Amino acid sequence: MKRIVILASGSGTNAENIIKYFQNSKIARVTHVLSNNEHAKVFDRCERLNIDASLFDKESFIKDDTVLTFLQIEADIVILAGFLWRIPSKIVQEFPNKIINIHPALLPKYGGKGMYGMNVHQAVKQNNETETGITVHYVNENYDEGAIIFQAKTNLLPSDSAHDIATKIHLLEQEHFPKVIQQEILKNA
């Protein structure tokens, strides 16, 4: 049974979806959620779903080895579900091809520092894109530059607002992210 630890910074809809997807799985389960945001709604979701969740700060993530040590003990795979900090190289090196992120665009377009959430959807709208999508990728030391595992596309209409785009992306995330995680776990079993 593989142990999944999720890192999340926000509302936790993807985290909740992953937790529920693996609740009755025979291959993996979410054992813990870590967040860098004390106000993140993911804590409420974890409490409701009876999943351990912990808050950490920049010092324990970047400067000392608190988060790294926790992951070494508790995680076989690390999932970023709306997590906004760059992963330190010491953690990336400890978990090669075992840290997976989802990005709300078709990388390499609309990736990099500051390109998350509505920032991405507004940029997609401003550039009059006719399609967008999600990218599931391995995490390396740079924002959104790890090897791509999976992409799914959706068509856009000229009338779509940034909020409409966000809704379409959210549907893709909910449909595909847990399945891609499962495929990666099975591939590396």
Q: In DSSP terms, which residues pair with 6 in a beta bridge? A: 33, 79
What residue has token string 């979806």?
17
- Specify whether 137 is catalytic: no
Of 79, 87, 92, which is closest to residue 6 (Cα–Cα)?
79
Q: What is the secondary structure of 72-129 as a DSSP string?
A: HHH-SEEEESS--SPPPHHHHHHSTT-EEEEESS-TTTT-STT--HHHHHHHHHHTT-
Q: Compute how many other C-beta atoms are within 10 angstroms of the C-beta atom of residue 13.
A: 17
Q: Out of 32, 39, 103, 176, pick the active-site residue.
A: 103
Q: Are 132 and 105 in contact (CB under 8 A)?
A: yes
SS3 call for 146: coil
Positions annotated as catalytic residues are 103
